[in-house]
Structure 1
Amino acid sequence: KQVIEEVISQETGRVFELTSGPLIRLTLIEDRSGDGYIFCLVMHHIISDGWSMDVLQKELFTLYNHFKSGSPAVLPPLGLQYKDYAFWERSELEIRSSLSKDYWRAQFSGELPVLALPSKGVRPSIKTYNSSHVSGFVSVDTLSLLKAVSLTNGSTLFMTVLSAVKVLLYRYSGQEDLIIGTPVAGREHGDLQDQIGFYVNTLALRSSIDGEDRFMDFLSSVRETTLLGYSHQSYPFDRLVEDLDIVRDLSRHPV
């Protein structure tokens, strides 16, 4: 077991060479303490996202089960390849970029807020990824109430929880201008559902909070901002950062 863990650690810790590849590594390790094997797959994030891993896992198990039973393994052909998407994205940016660029620039006009949460530590001069996490559970009753609030407002559960998080950050920081980033799958076209590749994009959603507002009014505002963000979700976040031409603080995210 220790040898297997060492091999896996070595494979997952090995640096990818982006210029020469490969960007995916497969290793099959025999478990001599039993009668099985460990399949280790390491893939660079630049060619995959969370959605891709679900697709890859589903197809691997489909092929494995077919081979195991001796039946022919045929996966349905893809209507599009990632190169087709990449070509479309470049073309689409040339066609629609003006409208989306104007929208996002308007969203982030003026001075951008910097979240200042109370902390007992000192922020490092260069951002690190040293962190910890706290896990918790939401009761069934609370979840039911959240869904009921969402339904009443015509919002999704995500919009309601996003609004609650923004209110929480407002209570801790006292700041009335907040930006929260959220990933979107970036697979608006039906032929992209079964693709493996990096399609995910980041939406930066900005909200103004007035402490005198009712929560339902604020939720309506967040709902509108989120829906507008979705309508412009194909505009790459890295392009937005370039457009804003902001002074970078290496201790923080660009927006």
Structure 2
Amino acid sequence: LLITQHHIVSDGWSMGVLVNELSALYGAYCRGEAEGLPALPVQYADYAAWQRRWMSGELLQQQADYWRATLAGAPALLDLPMDRARPAQQDYTGAFVDCRLDETLTNRLKDLSRRHGTTLYMTLLGSWAVLLSRLTGQEDVSIGTPTANRGRQEIEGLIGFFVNTLVLRLDLTGSPTVAELLLRVKTQALAAQQHQDIPFEQVVEVARPVRSLAHSPLFQVMFAWQNAPEGKLELPGLTLSPVGRTPYMAAKFDMTLVLQEAGEEIAGGIEYATALFDRSTVERYLGYWRTLLEAMVADETQAVHQLPWLPVAERRQVVEEWNATQREYPRDQ
């Protein structure tokens, strides 16, 4: 059985719904029972009609005003160090580099989050913002992030496209400490989620950013935290195993950090545009990020701009080996 679904009719959350319903229906069929699925309180068409009525007038204006004010004056481009000049037009060719944070570091990140009242998502988002700021030298960093946008219980069981994109503009000016940065990230993330209903394409219209075929508007780097219910595929009489992930061949943005909890660890990686970056560069950036995470959990009173981020060997190369300028010279002349 091969099921192919266009993204226009389904999102990541929908996959968990589909898997659970397939399991329930297959099991009921094998046992000769009735379908056994509860009736849906609404259909997607009901949601679409409701959203069209709800997102209008004063509410639409209020959300549009928030994004207009929040994104006013934001830098048009996150100027990451790249291996090649940006092409005149995006070609969306991409690849993926895996990463995994071990149980010890994951638990320390959870402890840091609990102490500061942040979710693991917010803490990891803050660390990603620090890396991007250190790489670019920019203290005003805009990061895209997907949101499930399923704020009503009636639509949790629907297969459909609900997901929206938010832009989180994070302020790293004034040399904040790790603790201060987490508070700033929490504030911005909660405010963005309170204004998540207006579609991203309308946010682009009200923000009026610089437009270019060479890069996406408002942000070029994304952070995706995968925590939607995955569902459990159980088909009586069949032994199932997952097919290995197909190789990434596309990148919608310059870079996307994709993470999720995997047991007691955090797993994921970076999807990147091969027109801009070599694999070795992305692997190096992941190394910087991991070192920053270790520094953040070690001392939350440190200023984020002073956190160590170079691995020991690279720091020795940059600071010592490349600066080994001692030479013999005629001392009597």
Cα deviation, 1:152-198, whole Å, max 9, x if unaligned, reads: 11000000000000001111111111111111111100001100100
Q: Where does residue 76 of structure 1 map in the other structure?
A: 38
Q: Work out the CA distance in 2 between the residues paired with 1:77 and 1:71.
A: 16
Q: Where does residue 129 of structure 1 map in the other structure?
A: 92
What percent of counterpart residues are identical? 39
CA contact (8 A) 2:14 2:160 kept: yes
Q: Where does residue 129 of structure 2 map in the other structure?
A: 166
Secondary structure class of the residue paired with 1:45: coil
Give the AA of the match of 2:156: Q
Give the AA of the match of 1:90: R
Residue 199 (structure 2) aligned to one of 218, 236, 241: 236
Structure 1 runs of 4+ off > 3 angstroms?
Answer: none
Say whether 1:187 aligns with 2:167: no
Residue 198 (structure 1) aligned to one of 154, 161, 176: 161
Q: Where does residue 71 of structure 2 map in the other structure?
A: 108
- Counterparts of 1:40-55 in structure 2, within 5 Å, are 40-55=2-17
Q: Where does residue 59 of structure 1 map in the other structure?
A: 21
- What is the Cα deviation at residue 247 of structure 1? 3.3
Give the AA of the match of 1:142: L
Secondary structure class of the residue paired with 1:181: strand
- What is the Cα deviation at residue 126 of structure 1? 0.9
- What is the Cα deviation at residue 113 of structure 1? 3.8
Q: Where does residue 221 of structure 2 map in the other structure?
A: none
Q: Work out the CA distance in 1 between the residues paired with 2:76 and 2:89.
A: 19
Secondary structure class of the residue paired with 2:8: helix
CA contact (8 A) 1:179 1:207 kept: yes
Q: What TM-score do the two structures reach when normalised by structure 1? A: 0.82
Q: C-alpha root-mean-square deviation of aligned residues, in Å?
A: 1.2
**Stretches of structure 2 lacking an aligned partner (at least 5 in a row):** 219-333
Q: Where does residue 53 of structure 2 map in the other structure?
A: 91
Secondary structure class of the residue paired with 2:36: coil
Tell me which protein shows more helix as a share of its residues.
Answer: 1
Q: Work out the CA distance in 2 between the residues paired with 1:156 and 1:111.
A: 26
Q: What TM-score do the two structures reach when normalised by structure 2? A: 0.63
Give aligned pairs, total: 217
Secondary structure class of the residue paired with 2:25: helix
Q: Work out the CA distance in 1 between the residues paired with 2:97 and 2:73.
A: 34
Give the AA of the match of 1:73: E
Q: Where does residue 8 of structure 1 map in the other structure?
A: none
CA contact (8 A) 1:113 1:177 kept: no
Residue 216 (structure 1) aligned to one of 143, 162, 179: 179
Give the AA of the match of 1:46: I
